[in-house]
């Protein structure tokens, strides 16, 4: 990973956190709830009927939880869990479930993430890899960006010999609307270092994760 790419990643994280923080300061929770009420009215509903009375409050609370990744950074998640270790064999964590939202329609993205790296004197707690994927997923996303963010964050913090990330996901914007194609999924990948340069290492990783994702 180049220095300019590393700085770009840090700037992007800082910008996203700054925007999220400023948004939280500029817009109150009451204003967010009122926006949901307005949306319900626009959809032809009555926000004062019994079943919808608390919907604005619940929706705002749910969205804050599901986009909590804006208030986190990869440095906070990873830095305290990095350990010196004389290891150079591939580490793979596969089938990490993720739930995100497509930034174009704010509809769910449901999928799995597979992450591998080849250590170069440093390893990281395995649970932190899952937490990193979850952090980036809990933002409004496109799958391509989500994939590269995970790879670049690990590359920056661990400086490993290589990083590989594959995301397999189904997009509700394709299932529930638009082309309406249930059962379709999208695969994206990001390869760094040995995984990009060495076909055998890349093949070992791809063989280890090969399966047909099943989403229900």
Helix, strand, coil distribution of the chain in percent, nearest 5:
50, 25, 25
Segment-wise mean pLDDT, segments of 10 residues, the chain, 216 residues: 49 58 76 97 96 97 96 89 92 96 96 97 95 97 97 95 97 84 89 96 94 57
- Given a contact cutoff of 8 angstroms between Cβ atoms, the answer to whether 185 and 170 are in contact is yes
Catalytic residues: 102-105, 143, 171, 173
Measured distance CA(182)–CA(170) in Å, rounded: 8
Q: What is the pLDDT of residue 73?
A: 93
Determine the pLDDT at residue 79. Answer: 80
pTM: 0.84
Read off the tokens for 212: 């047909």
- Give tens-digit pLDDT for 146-158: 999 999 999 999 9
Query: What's the confidence (pLDDT) of residue 26?
Result: 84
DSSP 137-191: HSSEE-HHHHHHHHHHHHHHHH--SEEEEEEEEEEHHHHTSTT--TT--EEEEEE
**Distance of alpha carbon 13 from alpha carbon 150, whole angstroms:** 12
Q: What is the pLDDT of residues 78-93, one digit of tens each?
A: 888 999 999 899 999 9
pLDDT of residue 209: 93
Give the model's pLDDT for residue 186: 94
- The whole-number pLDDT of residue 15 equals 58
User: How high is the pLDDT of residue 6?
Assistant: 46
Predicted confidence at residue 13, as pLDDT, reads: 62
**C-alpha–C-alpha distance, residues 113 and 166, integer Å:** 6
Burial of 209 (0-12, 13-18, 19+ CB in 10 A): middle
What is the pLDDT at residue 163?
A: 98
pLDDT of residue 16: 60
What 3-state class would DSSP assign to 36?
helix
Angstrom distance (rounded) from CA 95 to CA 79: 23
């Amino acid at each position: 990973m180049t220095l300019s790419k590393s700085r770009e990643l840090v700037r992007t994280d800082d910008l996203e956190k700054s925007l999220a923080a400023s948004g939280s300061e500029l817009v109150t929770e009451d204003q967010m709830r009122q926006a949901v009420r307005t949306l319900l009215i626009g959809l032809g509903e009555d926000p004062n009927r019994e079943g919808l009375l608390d919907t604005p409050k619940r929706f705002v609370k749910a969205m804050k939880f599901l986009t909590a990744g804006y208030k986190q950074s990869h440095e906070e998640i990873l830095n305290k869990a990095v350990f010196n270790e004389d290891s150079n064999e591939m580490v793979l964590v596969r089938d990490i479930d993720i739930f995100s939202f497509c930034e174009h329609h704010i509809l769910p993205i449901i999928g799995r993430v597979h992450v591998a790296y080849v250590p170069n004197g440093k390893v990281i707690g395995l649970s932190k890899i899952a937490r990193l994927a979850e952090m980036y997923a809990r933002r409004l996303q496109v799958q391509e960006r989500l994939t590269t963010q995970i790879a670049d964050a690990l590359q920056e913090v661990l400086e490993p010999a290589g990083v590989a990330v594959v995301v397999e996901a189904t997009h509700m914007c394709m299932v529930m609307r638009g082309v309406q194609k249930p059962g379709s999924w999208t695969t994206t990948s990001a390869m760094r270092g040995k995984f990009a340069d060495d076909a055998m290492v890349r093949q070992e990783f791809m063989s280890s994760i090969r399966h047909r994702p099943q989403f229900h």
